[in-house]
Amino acid sequence: MLLSGKTAIITGAARGIGRQIALLFAKEGCNVAITYIVSSEPAAEVVAEAQALGVQAKAYLSDAADFDAAHTVVQQVLQDFGGRIDIMVNNAGITRDTLLLRMTEQQWDEVLHVNLKSAFNFTHAVAPVMMRQRSGSIISLSSVVGLNGNAGQANYAASKAGIIALMKTTAKELGARGVRANAIAPGFILTDMTQTLPEEVHQHFLSLIPMKRAGKPEEVAQTALFLASDLSSYISGQVI
Is residue 58 packed enough to be buried (19+ CB in 10 Å), middle (13-18) or exposed (0-12)?
middle
Residue 141's nearest CA partner among 99, 209, 177, 193 is 193
3-state secondary structure of 103: coil
What residues are labeled active site?
156
- d(Cα 41, Cα 26) in Å, to the nearest integer? 19
Give me the phi and psi of 131, to 5 degrees please.
-65, -40
Nearest to 187 by CA among 17, 6, 71: 17
**What residues are paired with 141 via a beta bridge?**
184
Q: Give the angle 228-7-91 at the CA atoms, nearest 5°.
A: 60
Rounded-to-integer distance, Cα 205 and Cα 190, Å: 12
